[in-house]
A = this chain, B = another copy of it.
Amino acid sequence: MAKTSNTLFAVLGVLTKGPCSGYDIRKHFSESLRHFWSESYGQIYPALKEIVAQGYAAEVSYPNHSRKQKKYEITNAGLEHFSTWLASPVNPLNYRDELLLRVFFARPKDAPALAALFEREQTDLTQSIAAYKQQEAELLLHKHQEQYPFWSLTLRYGLLSSETRLQWCREALLLLARIPDEDRKGETK
């Protein structure tokens, strides 16, 4: 198969929402999509070139504002290609979690250091939960758009999974609090 690359589809996906420049696309990734997807310029511009080469989008010019900006518009072929991808099976995600990695290898002597990492994680999660809630409120303005239920589902997942992880951090801190003092064996110092 030629290209399974998700980058191409992610970029094409943004174009389904309307004509965009590379810069606009980047903004989408670092704003509404940042919680579950991102792409850097180094991926976006080459992907746009490829998408145009395959006839899934075309450059459009708006004579009004003759900026340096290039906008791309998805073609019918592009829309169809995207729909097909959307219905295709998802690849198993390969998840890499640095915090879990540290926990897995930790020993009693690492408990205080781990606790500090968990506390940091807690404050980060608390912030993102607040952000999700605010975004949910903002999203209500689009309540009557046909895409509303889908956008709302992605936000909902962000919220649920962050709350679960926060809860887990709390459990972990309780557990860690019971470890450090009883174990001081195997010290060489």
**Residues of A near any B CB (own CB < 8 A):** 6, 9-10, 13, 16-17, 32-33, 35-38, 82-83, 86-87, 89-91, 93-110, 113-114, 116-117, 120-121, 146-147, 149-151, 153-154, 156-157, 160-161, 164-165, 167-168, 171-172, 175-176, 179, 183
Cβ of A106: which chain B residues have Cβ within 8 Å of it? 86, 147, 150
Task: Say how far A48's CB is from chain B's closest CB, in angstroms.
Answer: 17
- Further pairs besides A6-B98, A32-B104, A35-B95: 4, Cβ < 8 Å: A13-B104, A38-B96, A86-B106, A93-B98
Majority DSSP secondary structure for residues of A touching B: helix
CB pair B105–A117 under 8 Å, yes or no, is: no
Cβ of A172: which chain B residues have Cβ within 8 Å of it? 153
Q: A86-B110, A117-B89 are in contact. Are A38 and B94 (CB under 8 A)?
A: yes
Pick the residue among B17, B109, B117, B160 that contacts A164 (CB under 8 A): B160
Pick the residue among B10, B83, B98, B175 that contacts A153 (CB under 8 A): B175
Cβ of A146: which chain B residues have Cβ within 8 Å of it? 107-108, 183
Pick the residue among B13, B121, B160 that contacts A168 (CB under 8 A): B160
CB pair A104–B38 under 8 Å, yes or no, is: no
CB pair A157–B149 under 8 Å, yes or no, is: no
Residue of B nearest to A172 (CB): B153
Bound form: Cα–Cα A76–B66 in Å: 64
**Which 4 pairs, one residue from A and one from B, show the smallest C-beta to C-beta distance?**
A87-B113, A36-B100, A13-B105, A90-B98
Q: What are 12 sample pairs from A and B whose C-beta atoms fall under 8 A apart?
A: A6-B96, A36-B97, A37-B97, A82-B105, A83-B109, A86-B110, A87-B110, A87-B116, A90-B117, A95-B95, A103-B153, A156-B168
